[in-house]
Amino acid sequence: MLLKELTEANGVSGNEKEVRDIILREISGYCEKISIDRMGNIIALRKGTSDNGKKVMLSAHMDEVGLIVTGFTDTGFIKFKPVGGIDPRILVSKKVLVGKQRLPGVIGLKAIHLQEPNERKQAVKIKNMYIDIGAKNKEDAEKKVSLGDYIAFDSCYMPFGNNLVKAKALDDRAGCAILIEMIKERYSFDLYACFTVQEEVGLRGAKVAAYTVQPDMALVVEGTTCSDVPGAKEHEYATTLGDGPAISIMDRTSYSNKELSRLLYSLAKENNIKVQYKKTTLGGNDAGVIHLTGKGIPTATISVPCRYIHSPVSVMSMEDFEGCKKLVKLFLEYINKTKQEEENE
């Protein structure tokens, strides 16, 4: 299954090659032009049937949050820093894979029996954690691992419950899987599917991709936070699992184009697709830099809700995923129809 393969591939921000290779394999033969820019973005062009010069951009990021090696202890443990936004509290005892060799390791912390009473009351800090790869000493560890090696969570894709899946990197391999399907169709306009890099560390790849494409409009396909869990009041839910894909209004980096957002919502309702609005302005995604490119690009965002985002065990409803895929396709078909009508006038 493609989504399983994508999520189990390691692609910590700045090290997206493994994911990129899967995507290139899947879209080969469908596009008139596929380029990889200097940042590492994939920009895939599905040429339109008309010469109207209209360009629509779809964007999904390939990278995931993770860790990076920053040092070694004399006894052979690895010190590390986060890559992207990670809550340190989720790290203790997690399995990880270090470097290109996928060296197995475990994130450790001084045993609770050895902690002072005040240490037990405080949130664990990353500087107090380490990764145990079973090395004898520093020299042994340095033979196996290098400074700057990327560290990914060791987590498998697993279906469970009521049509749910558990996996790492659903943010945003879910979006990547949807874009792969969209590029297989042809429209009157030129469709650019941009699989971007380094979103988790500052929306870096999308800034370059949007500048390259200069589209007439853009749609970002994302995985977003879902907070329908114990301890959160209903009015605090960002999204609700099973209520369909979520349309963004605004966040810390962008204000979605109202016309495009309303179009997405109306298309969902007209076609009996569950849909919801994202009810928080926290966070951000590639739309933040895309909509500011050039003279400005009308941009909207549609996301698949994911519980426990930015962790090894994000949870997603396959119904929400399929609903998002259908809605993106309906959006492209609607744009295609309106462009053809404009040409016939």
Q: What is the pLDDT of residues 2-35, one digit of tens each?
A: 999 999 999 999 999 999 999 999 999 899 999 9
CATH 3.40.630.10 fits 2-64+168-344, yes or no: yes
- The answer to whether residue 199 is catalytic is yes
Q: Nearest 10 degrees: CA dihedral of 268, 232, 159, 59?
A: 50
Distance CA 117, CA 105 (A): 28
**pLDDT at residue number 229:** 75
Task: Give the start-to-end residue ranges of the domains of the chain.
Answer: 2-64+168-344, 66-153
Other C-beta atoms within 10 Å of 292: how many?
A: 15
Q: Are 284 and 248 in contact (CB under 8 A)?
A: no
Mean pLDDT of 329-335: 96
pLDDT at 342 over 90: no
pLDDT at 143 over 70: yes
For residue 307, the surrounding DSSP H or E stretch is strand 299-307
CB-based burial label for 5 (10 Å; 0-12, 13-18, 19+)? middle
Q: Find the catalytic residue in 8, 199, 200, 319.
A: 199
CATH number of the 66-153 domain: 2.40.30.40
Mean pLDDT of 117-126: 73
Query: Which residue's structure tokens are 């810390």?
Result: 252
Other C-beta atoms within 10 Å of 162: how many?
A: 9
Q: Nearest 10 degrees: CA dihedral of 161, 162, 166, 171?
A: -160
Distance CA 24, CA 330 (A): 24
pLDDT at 113 over 60: no
Pick from 285, 325, 289, 332: which is nearest to 304 by CA? 325
> Which of 115 and 294 is assigned the larger pLDDT?
294
pLDDT at 73 over 80: yes
**pLDDT at residue number 230:** 78
At 345, is the pLDDT very low, low, confident or very high (cuts 50, 70, 90)?
low
pLDDT at 228 over 90: no
